[in-house]
Amino acid sequence: MKVAYIDNKPYEIESGETILTFMKRYMGEKPVPTLCDAPNLDPFGSCRVCSVDVALEEGGKTKAMASCHSPISEGMYIQPHTPNIQKLRKNIIELVISDHPLLCLTCEVSGNCELQDVAATVGLRDVRYPEGANHLDTPKDLSHPYMTSDLSKCINCYRCIRACDEVQGEFVLSMGGRGFDTTIIKGLDQSFMDSDCVSCGACSQACPTSAISDIFQSKGVTATDTTRTICTYCGVGCNLEVSTSNGEILSIQAPYDAEVNQGHTCIKGRYAFKFYNHQDRLDSPMIKRNGDFEKVSWDEAYEYIATKLTGYKDEFGSDSIAGISSARCTNEENYLMQKFIRTVIGTNNIDGCARVCHSPTALGMQRTFGTGAATNSIDDLKDTNCIMVIGANPTDAHPVTGAKLKQFAMKADNVSIVIDPRRTELARYATHHLALRPGTNVALLNMMMYYIITENIGDDSFIENRTEGFEAFKEEILNIDIDALEEVTGVDRNQVKASAYAYATAPNAMSFHGLGVTEHSQGTFTVMQIADLALLTGNIGRRGVGVNPLRGQNNVQGSADMGVQPHQGAGYLDVTNDEVNKKYNEFYGVEVPKEIGYKIPEMFDAALEGKLKALWVIGEDIVQTDPNTKKVIKAMEATDLVIVQELFMTETAKYADVILPGASFLEKSGTFTNGERRVQAVRQVVDPIPGSKPDGQIIVDIMNKMGYAQADYTPDGMLEEISQIVPFFAGISWDRLGKNGMQWPVAKDGTETQILHTVDFKRGKGYFEFNAWEETQELVSHAKEFPYILTTNRELEHYNCGAMTRRTANEEILQDDYLMINPDDAVENLINDGDYVCLESPRGKVDVKARITDEVKKGVLSTTFHFPEIMINNLTGDVHDSEAMCPEYKVVAVRLRRSKGKFKQVLADK
Ligand code: SF4
């Protein structure tokens, strides 16, 4: 056993630890004062406050060493608090304080200031130095809607700079000037607002004083409570610590002990919370009478809905009613909604937003592996050598995971492959960027697999032992026409070959994919190819490998797990299977239907055919976010009863007959499941605003009203029920979730699962299936008349329809949708940066502002869809994935011209 000594007592050392971490293991969290050290940053050793005396023999000559970055070694004798060291620390802090405003009483962080604490710990009472040159009149930076700086309080500890570099990877903050003029600068010595700051707040959380802070003063001590919950925006599932006082939310910080986000968030999680009590919140049930919404009581609304639904059920049958549940809601609420539709209404017409995002992922991975969820965890990045990111822009859409992927890509020894038509931020750091033409994923991945097979760099033993269907697959792959595929993809075959080689020969390779894979006519086939690539190279079933879909909304994984799908009930059980049907009937105590229900696009078709009489939509703005807006509106208008359960008067809510005001994630409890199958506790922070109710309770109320005895909504009670019917939730209970949740499948004894398919696949063997590339019908039918390809993308600041983020100060940072257009295309069409461009597709026209950039190739356009004023989905069409019916948002045939903004929408005021 190797030991070192603290105050002459021996303690075992661990390899790789510093003197500080060694002392922490035996002396507690704060063995010595520190300033430049932070839990989520690498050791730095700038402030020297953590210095300790170190000798190499007992009673030997000592040397002061900064403990935070000095490695421990065998036989060291450490004396943390000798008089010499105490004097040194006091002197350091005295020098720091000599250039620091002594305004503790009025400082926002008084009582929670690390400098104040350290000064007290070292016993500093006054400063011996006379007043001299100082930085006390440094002007404040109040330019940004969230971030502020007052560098008169800066102690040059570099924590903010390191957070910007090591956590976010943005490199916006740095140290400028020389000697006494050394100071923190943003960008090219700009303000926060003018710099490239992405407003993640990592610097403000890292700052030990209030030199960098936020407008919510999140390090102030006015909060009376903090509640740990989960972010409502994307599928990363960041943990948040929400501070409150008198039932008001003050600010949000990120807990360092969160396994998902380790003290980090993006702008949305940390700052975009003010929508929760915005004046636009719906605060009463409403029924539309004579074209106007009238406020009614909950009882009246329930009576109205129950009477209408019972009437349709009796007259037209259960299948005349459908429900769309919400990835914004908790697992328990989604479970209840599908239970209501199946048991009370008696139909499988239940679907959710996975239909328009990752339904091809679930289907494709189920076909290849047997399970449609991420195989590994983001933490596996620590043990991989190669990442392949396809059809995803994680630094905007999944920012905390995106920051980790970017950190990976920036390291010299790592290999990263980005397959995306756009030169995304990640693509700029990638070893290989394959900028393919939108709609050719299948062609490109078949080329990669061709090279892996012909170069004989696959994993033969894995193929032999764990897969089936390989010989037939190989035969097809060897027959592909590389010349033709090179031409359609627009990617040099040597680049494809090099990427295939990098992925196949890396000791461990992970893939990540997003909506640029799924929202295509061949979305499911592309997912199957990504899974095939993992089978072909043995990159499955251990740490640091796997297929990892970047799930879009916060609980899109959970809503599908809970049965928000027309073909699978809770736990992905096939509704048409007799055994499953028997199990559901017994469990629910009523007959549940066996026929597969409508998917969302089929609901719209049924409405237009007069077959759908009632549609209940929870937390989903289908008018703004589903393709072919005009068709969706017609479907809404053709449906007798549209019930919308929402926070705000969205574009969809405007077409409702009944509106039910739901509650935001801050006002209710339950669980969300993130993209790595992690079920995490969402804890209520404040009461629902007056007039609204938790969505789960609304569904319970209507179930009871319609004669099904359902207990009141409580997260522990619902989880108890779910654990009895969803096999992979068997061991999940509210009490077991703890701080960091549990990754399913969870066995009855509470054993969770970080990695899937370690020994077998759910379907037994991994299945190879070849699919040839086919041009999308959108281009086959319209490319001649509409020669440009429009694809869609997200922006960091807003989320989907923007109903929440547009009601926060995020709107001050990004106020408009815009169109990315290549400089050559801009010249050809006489378009200048900032001009309005009229985009026209076979479905309609919109006007959007141009941003000229070489992020997109000639012939390709890309735009966001966050603002109802633009309504980009007026352009998108009905082409969808051949297997899962996910709409093809990513390939739209358009033409363009400079315009005056005449077609700038319109529907927002309707
Ligand atoms: Fe929320 Fe996603 Fe941002 Fe995390 S990365 S704070 S989950 S939006």
Q: Which atom of ligand 1 is nearest to the CA of 231?
A: 1
Q: 74-85 pLDDT, tens per residue?
A: 999 999 999 999
Place of tokens 């709107």: 811
Q: How many helical (H) and strand (E) elements, i.e. helices and strands, does the chain have?
A: 29, 37
Cβ neighbours of residue 593 under 8 Å, at least 6 residues apart?
A: 318, 342, 346, 347, 348, 575
- How many Å separate Cα 45 from the centre of its chain? 34
What's the token pair of residue 296?
């009614």
From CA 452, how far away is CA 432, in angstroms rounded?
16
| Confidence at residue 601, expressed as pLDDT on a 0 to 100 scale | 93
The arithmetic mean of pLDDT across residues 868-888, rounded, is 85
Instruction: Give the number of other CB atoms < 10 A from CB of residue 487.
Output: 13
SS3 528: helix
What's the token pair of residue 646?
């929402």
Q: 798-837 pLDDT, tens per residue?
A: 887 788 888 898 888 888 888 999 999 999 999 999 999 9
The arithmetic mean of pLDDT across residues 325-349, rounded, is 97
In this structure, are residues 376 and 401 in contact, taking their beta carbons and an 8 Å threshold? no
User: Lowest-pLDDT range, 203-207, 521-525, 789-793, 897-901?
Assistant: 897-901
Q: Which atom of ligand 1 is nearest to the CA of 236?
A: 7
Place of tokens 């390291």: 411
Model confidence at 894: pLDDT above 50: yes
SS3 578: helix
CA-closest residue to ligand 1 atom 1: 269
Separation of first and last alpha carbons in the chain:
76
| Confidence at residue 794, expressed as pLDDT on a 0 to 100 scale | 83
From CA 904, how far away is CA 881, in angstroms rounded?
29
The arithmetic mean of pLDDT across residues 641-659, rounded, is 96
Q: Which atom of ligand 1 is nearest to the CA of 232?
A: 1
Q: 835-849 pLDDT, tens per residue?
A: 999 999 999 999 999
Under the banding of pLDDT at 50, 70 and 90, the label for residue 872 is confident
Under the banding of pLDDT at 50, 70 and 90, the label for residue 542 is very high
In this structure, are residues 227 and 240 in contact, taking their beta carbons and an 8 Å threshold? no
SS3 820: strand
Is the shortest distance between the CB of 477 and ligand 1 below 6 Å? no
From CA 692, how far away is CA 298, in angstroms rounded?
10
| Confidence at residue 909, expressed as pLDDT on a 0 to 100 scale | 38
Query: What is the largest distance, in Å, between two alpha-carbon atoms of the chain?
Result: 94
In this structure, are residues 285 and 298 in contact, taking their beta carbons and an 8 Å threshold? yes
Model confidence at 343: pLDDT above 50: yes
Under the banding of pLDDT at 50, 70 and 90, the label for residue 906 is very low
| Confidence at residue 798, expressed as pLDDT on a 0 to 100 scale | 85
Which one is predicted more confidently, 873 or 561?
561
Q: Which atom of ligand 1 is nearest to the CA of 398?
A: 5
User: Lowest-pLDDT range, 595-609, 679-693, 799-813, 824-838?
Assistant: 799-813
Is the shortest distance between the CB of 269 and ligand 1 below 6 Å? yes
The arithmetic mean of pLDDT across residues 649-668, rounded, is 96
| Confidence at residue 625, expressed as pLDDT on a 0 to 100 scale | 85
User: Lowest-pLDDT range, 608-612, 635-639, 815-819?
Assistant: 815-819
| Confidence at residue 903, expressed as pLDDT on a 0 to 100 scale | 59
Is the shortest distance between the CB of 236 and ligand 1 below 6 Å? yes
Helix, strand, coil shares of the chain, percent, nearest 5, are 35, 20, 50
Q: Which atom of ligand 1 is nearest to the CA of 267?
A: 3
From CA 817, how far away is CA 432, in angstroms rounded?
29
From CA 149, how far away is CA 547, in angstroms rounded?
41
Is the shortest distance between the CB of 119 and ligand 1 below 6 Å? no
Q: Which of 398, 404, 672 to mutate to test the pocket of ligand 1 (most atoms within 8 A of CB)?
A: 398
* CA 250 to ligand 1 center in whole angstroms: 19
Model confidence at 760: pLDDT above 90: yes
The arithmetic mean of pLDDT across residues 659-669, rounded, is 97
Model confidence at 868: pLDDT above 80: no
Under the banding of pLDDT at 50, 70 and 90, the label for residue 902 is low
| Confidence at residue 901, expressed as pLDDT on a 0 to 100 scale | 66
The arithmetic mean of pLDDT across residues 314-325, rounded, is 97
In this structure, are residues 208 and 157 in contact, taking their beta carbons and an 8 Å threshold? yes
Instruction: Give the number of other CB atoms < 10 A from CB of residue 810.
Output: 27
| Confidence at residue 907, expressed as pLDDT on a 0 to 100 scale | 40
The arithmetic mean of pLDDT across residues 183-211, rounded, is 95
Q: In the predicted model, what is the mean pLDDT of the chain?
A: 94
* CA 264 to ligand 1 center in whole angstroms: 9
Q: Which atom of ligand 1 is nearest to the CA of 799?
A: 8
Model confidence at 853: pLDDT above 90: yes
Is the shortest distance between the CB of 262 and ligand 1 below 6 Å? no
* CA 506 to ligand 1 center in whole angstroms: 30
Is the shortest distance between the CB of 802 and ligand 1 below 6 Å? no
The arithmetic mean of pLDDT across residues 595-613, rounded, is 96
| Confidence at residue 874, expressed as pLDDT on a 0 to 100 scale | 86
Percent of the chain scoring above 90 in pLDDT: 86
Q: 13-23 pLDDT, tens per residue?
A: 999 999 999 99
Is the shortest distance between the CB of 268 and ligand 1 below 6 Å? yes
CA-closest residue to ligand 1 atom 2: 234
Model confidence at 451: pLDDT above 90: yes
Q: Which of 228, 231, 267, 810 to mutate to test the pocket of ligand 1 (most atoms within 8 A of CB)?
A: 231
Under the banding of pLDDT at 50, 70 and 90, the label for residue 908 is very low
Model confidence at 155: pLDDT above 50: yes
What's the token pair of residue 769?
């299936």
What's the token pair of residue 271?
């700052």
Is the shortest distance between the CB of 794 and ligand 1 below 6 Å? no
Cα distances (angstroms) measured from residue 499 to each of 433, 448, 451, 514, 660: 9, 7, 10, 19, 51
Model confidence at 125: pLDDT above 90: no
Q: What is the dihedral of CA 125, 130, 135, 138, to 10 degrees?
A: 90
In this structure, are residues 779 and 892 in contact, taking their beta carbons and an 8 Å threshold? no
Is the shortest distance between the CB of 233 and ligand 1 below 6 Å? yes
Is the shortest distance between the CB of 435 and ligand 1 below 6 Å? no
